[in-house]
Structure 1
Amino acid sequence: MKVAVVMGGASPEHDVSLASGRGIADAVTELGHTAVPLVLDRSDEWADGLHETIDILRSVDVVLIGLHGEGGEDGRLQGFLEQLKVPYVGSGVTASAVGLDKNLTKAVLSAHGIPVTPGVRLFGAETRDAEGALQKLKAADVDFPVFVKPANGGSSFGVGRATDLASLGAAITAAAELDPQVLVEKEMIGREVDLAVLQFPDGRVEVGPALEIISDPSQPFFNATAKYDAESATQFLIPAPLEPELTEQLKRTALEVFEILGCAGLARIDFFLPADGGPVVNEINTLPGFTPASQFPRMWAANGYSYADIIGVLIDTAVAQR
């Protein structure tokens, strides 16, 4: 098949996306297909030109999206491809848009009885009023320390930790530079565990082995440096050392999240396991990082699937469903 691989984009995850795209394109070639790389530059312009890109997209059999964050993971590219009637890998417009918006995701999951990280959303003038934000946190029964993050984004860009009013104001300002919506959430003391969901061409959906993150102790939290720096001491434990009952609970919840949000193809669901309570959902990634060293392919490797195997499943599923 002729497979377009879209990468780059204007989000802060541009370089991560290029790494994902290169890995995906290599796997497409390894599988015997023809890879057609398509790059969006940092201004969100197609490197080959808009009209030329449309012609290319209309000529391919399927599109693999290696974009992360806004522009690629929020439904905009999916809607563009829907208009062109081109099959693509992953969730559709609605699930993508909801999945990237962390506040909306939490609202939907909470409405279905799924525990999520406690916190508040700030918008507009609220992002310039740290004292007002503090009062909103108190009303929600959320105390310091807290994490502050852009509501739409990933790879921990713009994420900060606040322990007092001054650091809260600084963290909100930094997050608001990347997104007009800002989330301020309670710090969850405990373990971080991720699960990978994969859909197969026959429609069945499976969950891979759980992964536990042991973040680089030299970093304040699992930030972009801990995730991507070649010198990072971050460790991924696969399978996560969990009790069988807890593992099954997390898998059931991951599948439930996938189905509630109407996802397709793939997703990574991230959990916190607080020391003082049951699991809570942190967020979902409908287009998780896909470099060969990323968590999603690592989890499936523990189940015997090579990187190219996963790409093959994603391609076949997209073609079968669309």
Structure 2
Amino acid sequence: MTDSPARKIRVALVFGGRSGEHAISAATAAGVMKAIDRDRYDVLPVGITREGRWVLASGDPAQWELSAGRLPEVTTDAGRELAGLNEVDDVDVVFPLLHGPYGEDGTIQGLLELAGVPYVGAGVLASAVGMDKQFMKLVFTGHGLPVGPYVVVKPRDWEHGQSEVVARVQAELKFPVFVKPARAGSSLGVTRVDDLTGLADAIEEARFHDPKVIVEEGIAGREIECAVLGGRGGAAPRASVPGEIVVDHAEAQFYDFEEKYSADSHARTQAPADLPDDVAARVRELAVQAFESIGAEGLSRVDVFVTPEGEVILNEINTLPGFTPISMYPQMWQASGISYPELIDELIRLALERPTGLR
């Protein structure tokens, strides 16, 4: 009599969602579907439509890939509609591949905590803090970490006192400034403003994505990123080699949504970044400090500026960074010796090792 084979670990890949980054989330799912070890894991693709409906989706990566002139989208026609993960038996771990609000901001993390289901990535509080640029910066400064000057524009501020907001930006910040939705990613709604004449329109553009807006003073320097991976068995987090976004400023002002995802991008990524050893070490040190300051777990990408004088200034942390095979987070770990399939495996193992609830 032979022993029955051990059951594979069942991983629910949750993607799509209600944010403006729906298509990017689907593309991330395609990359993970292709690379995950099918001998070890039983993959359950769960899509969330833009309206918030859950469906048991196709496991064919080609359906979810970005292509010229086509953005993938989860619809109720994509598979059997679900009431939620409670309709799916024996899910061992969830890998949320959602970006932006209703996925990266602690909402789905709270749902999974209530259900007692292990999941990849940061918990409720760290996810919420990492999504909100205002509170992220407050936590960073509370830990003595360096951030650039900024002004927060709350809905009431703008709706009842636009002139006061403009005056405050003029008084507190130097141009150029970058106007951003406070709780969005993938550079959606971000505008570079070189003088006061474009400020109001830029704030309105950002408010289309989020009623709360943040205006950041432009920092002259290189855009450097660093990937952080949680430590096993309570060990300290690990930092990758830094990477760099190199933008052809003759063709593009900054690394916006189009430059990130267009086939005709005027930006390129480079890992490892060409930095002096001491500056690279400072980037990695700050990345881990940022990760620990918000209580992140699993994975995060930390974005910084390196000034011409070698000063390192934190820009932001992304607790569910872009995770397609060509995204910077996997690229930086590839350059550090961990392949994309190995990275997926490590993140799942970290999630299974960690209990839900208070920890």
| Structure 1 unaligned residues grouped into runs of 5+ | none
Note the C-alpha offset of 1:30. Answer: 4.1
Does 43-52 or 211-220 show the bigger shift?
A: 43-52
Say which SS state the counterpart of residue 147 (structure 1) adopts. strand
**Paired residue for 2:207?**
176
Provide the C-alpha distance between the structure 1 equivalents of 2:289 and 2:85, rounded to a whole number of angstroms: 37
**Paired residue for 1:210?**
242
Number of residue-to-residue matches in the alignment: 320
Say which SS state the counterpart of residue 233 (structure 2) adopts. coil
Note the C-alpha offset of 1:164. Answer: 2.2
Note the C-alpha offset of 1:64. Answer: 0.4
Give the ranges of 4+ consecutive aligned residues of structure 1 lying more than 6 Å apart after TM superposition: none
Q: Does 1:244 align with 2:277?
A: yes
Q: What amino acid is aligned across from residue 207 of structure 1 in structure 2?
A: A
Q: Does structure 1 conserve the Cα–Cα contact (< 8 Å) formed by 2:37 and 2:341?
A: no
Q: How far does the alpha carbon of each residue in 1:147-179 deviate from its partner, in whole angstroms, 9 at most, with x for none?
A: 000000100000001122231001000001111
**Paired residue for 1:257?**
290
**Paired residue for 2:45?**
37
Q: How far does the alpha carbon of each residue in 1:79-134 deviate from its partner, in whole angstroms, 9 at most, with x for none?
A: 00011110000000000000000110001111111111211000113334543222
Q: Does structure 2 conserve the Cα–Cα contact (< 8 Å) formed by 1:31 and 1:312?
A: no
Q: Does structure 2 conserve the Cα–Cα contact (< 8 Å) formed by 1:31 and 1:308?
A: no
Provide the C-alpha distance between the structure 2 equivalents of 1:276 and 1:123, rounded to a whole number of angstroms: 34
**Paired residue for 1:68?**
99
Provide the C-alpha distance between the structure 1 equivalents of 2:11 and 2:135, rounded to a whole number of angstroms: 32
- Within-5 A mapping of 1:141-180: 142-180=173-211
Provide the C-alpha distance between the structure 2 equivalents of 1:31 and 1:259, rounded to a whole number of angstroms: 34
Provide the C-alpha distance between the structure 2 equivalents of 1:135 and 1:277, rounded to a whole number of angstroms: 32
Say which SS state the counterpart of residue 317 (structure 2) adopts. strand
Q: Does 1:137 align with 2:152?
A: no
**Paired residue for 1:77?**
108
Q: Does structure 2 conserve the Cα–Cα contact (< 8 Å) formed by 1:208 and 1:303?
A: yes
Do the aligned partners of residues 52 and 279 (structure 1) sit closer, same or farther apart at CA in structure 2, a change above 3 Å counting? Answer: closer
Provide the C-alpha distance between the structure 2 equivalents of 1:216 and 1:35, rounded to a whole number of angstroms: 40
Q: What amino acid is aligned across from residue 156 of structure 1 in structure 2?
A: S
Provide the C-alpha distance between the structure 1 equivalents of 2:349 and 2:310, rounded to a whole number of angstroms: 40
Q: How far does the alpha carbon of each residue in 1:277-303 deviate from its partner, in whole angstroms, 9 at most, with x for none?
A: 721110000000011110000001112
Q: What amino acid is aligned across from residue 264 of structure 1 in structure 2?
A: E
Provide the C-alpha distance between the structure 2 equivalents of 1:31 and 1:195, rounded to a whole number of angstroms: 31
**Paired residue for 1:296?**
329
Note the C-alpha offset of 1:45. Answer: 1.9
Provide the C-alpha distance between the structure 1 equivalents of 2:326 and 2:234, rounded to a whole number of angstroms: 27
Q: What amino acid is aligned across from residue 53 of structure 2 in structure 1?
A: E
Does 176-185 or 194-203 show the bigger shift?
A: 194-203
Note the C-alpha offset of 1:276. Answer: 5.4
Pick aligned residue for 2:267 from 231, 234, 238: 234
Q: Does 1:319 align with 2:352?
A: yes
**Larger radius of gyration between Structure 1 and Structure 2:** 2
Provide the C-alpha distance between the structure 2 equivalents of 1:72 and 1:27, rounded to a whole number of angstroms: 22
Q: Does structure 1 conserve the Cα–Cα contact (< 8 Å) formed by 2:21 and 2:186?
A: yes
Scaled by the length of structure 2, the TM-score of the pair is 0.86
Pick aligned residue for 1:222 from 255, 267, 272: 255
Q: Does structure 2 conserve the Cα–Cα contact (< 8 Å) formed by 1:28 and 1:34?
A: no
**Paired residue for 1:27?**
35
Scaled by the length of structure 1, the TM-score of the pair is 0.95
Q: What amino acid is aligned across from residue 126 of structure 1 in structure 2?
A: D
Do the aligned partners of residues 277 and 211 (structure 1) sit closer, same or farther apart at CA in structure 2, a change above 3 Å counting? Answer: closer
Provide the C-alpha distance between the structure 2 equivalents of 1:231 and 1:163, rounded to a whole number of angstroms: 25
Say which SS state the counterpart of residue 270 (structure 1) adopts. strand
Note the C-alpha offset of 1:31. Answer: 5.3
Q: What amino acid is aligned across from residue 120 of structure 1 in structure 2?
A: V
Using the aligned pairs only, state the percent identity: 41
Provide the C-alpha distance between the structure 2 equivalents of 1:300 and 1:73, rounded to a whole number of angstroms: 21
Provide the C-alpha distance between the structure 2 equivalents of 1:315 and 1:258, rounded to a whole number of angstroms: 19
Q: Does structure 2 conserve the Cα–Cα contact (< 8 Å) formed by 1:147 and 1:185?
A: yes
Provide the C-alpha distance between the structure 2 equivalents of 1:50 and 1:147, rounded to a whole number of angstroms: 40
